[in-house]
Homo-oligomer: A and B are copies of this chain.
Amino acid sequence: MVISKIDKMHSLSKNQQIIFDLIDKSPEPLKAYTILFNVQKKGIKAPPQVYRALDKLVEMGKIHKIESRNAFIACHNSSCQVAKATAFSICEICEKVTEISSAGLSKYLANFKDKDGMKYSKYNLEFFGLCKKCR
């Protein structure tokens, strides 16, 4: 076995790489059909090709879905180990989205227990407000 499992886990297929590169270069979250439009010249012609790649990239933690916007952003936490515990701030005017990486916040949420004492290792938090520029 030349390629270790670890290496394998970090390797992207052709379509995954194309779509990840596009999202990673983008200064703003991209919607699925915006992505589709932008990769048609690279041979990705149909929605399922885009959605499949997006699904895998989300699973891997390489990108995150901004649920309130139906859009995708590259993970900016160095490790990409936080695929399942995400937090973002969203400007309601310019729609700028920033991934929040706060040890305090993630610790608080990872340890949060509901009324029944249940803990949840997976969560998605979206803060809304006005960014510096828009205030």
Residues of A whose CB lies within 8 Å of any CB of B are 67-68, 84, 89, 98, 100, 102, 105, 108-109, 112, 114-116, 118-129, 131-132
Are A132 and B120 also in contact (CB < 8 A) when A67-B67, A67-B68, A68-B67 are? no
A100 to B109, CA, bound (A): 13
Are A89 and B118 also in contact (CB < 8 A) when A108-B108, A125-B123 are? yes
Are A123 and B123 also in contact (CB < 8 A) when A118-B89, A132-B118 are? no
| Contact assessment for B112 and A105 in the assembled complex, using a CB-CB cutoff below 8 Å | yes
| Contact assessment for B132 and A127 in the assembled complex, using a CB-CB cutoff below 8 Å | no
Between A and B, 20 residue pairs with Cβ closer than 8 Å are A67-B67, A67-B68, A68-B124, A84-B128, A89-B118, A100-B115, A109-B125, A112-B127, A116-B132, A118-B129, A118-B131, A118-B132, A120-B127, A120-B128, A122-B127, A122-B128, A122-B129, A123-B126, A123-B128, A124-B128
Question: What's the number of copies of this chain in the assembled complex?
Answer: 2
Chain B residues near A112: list those with CB within 8 A.
102, 105, 127
| Contact assessment for A102 and B114 in the assembled complex, using a CB-CB cutoff below 8 Å | yes
A123 to B47, CA, bound (A): 31
| Contact assessment for B114 and A100 in the assembled complex, using a CB-CB cutoff below 8 Å | yes
Tell me how far the C-beta of A100 lies from the nearest C-beta in chain B, rounded to whole angstroms.
6
